[in-house]
Amino acid sequence: MSIQDKFVRRPPRKEAKHRINGFIRAQRVRLVSPALNGVVSLSEALAEASNAGLDLVEISPNADPPVCKVMDYSKFMYQQKQKDKDSAKNRPELKEVRFTPNIGDHDFDIKARQAIKFLKDGSKVKTQVQFKGRQMAHKEQGELVLLRLAEAVIEVGKPESLPKLEGKKMFMMLTPVKK
């Protein structure tokens, strides 16, 4: 057996979100189960879980004593993933449209159409005017561009607030109008 065989590199172990069954370290736990509730020893809690044919899952490890629940862990994790997917679907997407303070009429119309399309799709739109160099002396031009855009998209979107200047950028958020 060579030295290289002795020290085989293994991929790092993924840390589980919850400790289950034999990985729970506490001596006494607060058990939540259909049959038994309250503070019990770890061995009693493990026996209760094995009698039910389920897993003992540490829900709140920072509590004193830690809270453990008797449940089917794989089913619990599946339900958690489904909830995460659903919440990601329902979250409105954020799109961004950028302007310059002295944008031409045709370019403005194209970007306004793009913002209207995003708002019709149900996405929030973050509009931004980027100032460069001496353009910072004419902040009112950037504000006029954003207010002109708010007026152009009034049928499908409304501004959350007036334009705000942060550094060399001026922002305004547009949200879709509910029909």
pLDDT (0 to 100) of residue 31: 87
Tens digits of residue pLDDT in 34-44 = 887 888 888 88
Distance (Å) of CA 63 to CA 29, 66, 77: 9, 5, 21
- Listed by start position, the domains of the chain span 21-86, 92-176
> Could you tell me where the beta strands, DSSP code E, fall in 4-113?
28-32, 37-41, 55-60, 67-71, 94-99
Q: Hey, what CATH topology would domain 21-86 get?
A: Ubiquitin-like (UB roll) (3.10.20)
pLDDT (0 to 100) of residue 35: 80
Tens digits of residue pLDDT in 78-136 = 988 998 888 877 777 888 999 999 999 999 999 999 999 999 988 899 999 999 988 88
pLDDT (0 to 100) of residue 138: 84
Q: What architecture does CATH give domain 92-176? A: 2-Layer Sandwich (3.30)
Tens digits of residue pLDDT in 45-81 = 888 888 888 888 888 888 888 898 898 888 888 988 9
**Higher-pLDDT residue of 140, 36:** 140
Tens digits of residue pLDDT in 11-31 = 555 556 778 888 888 888 898
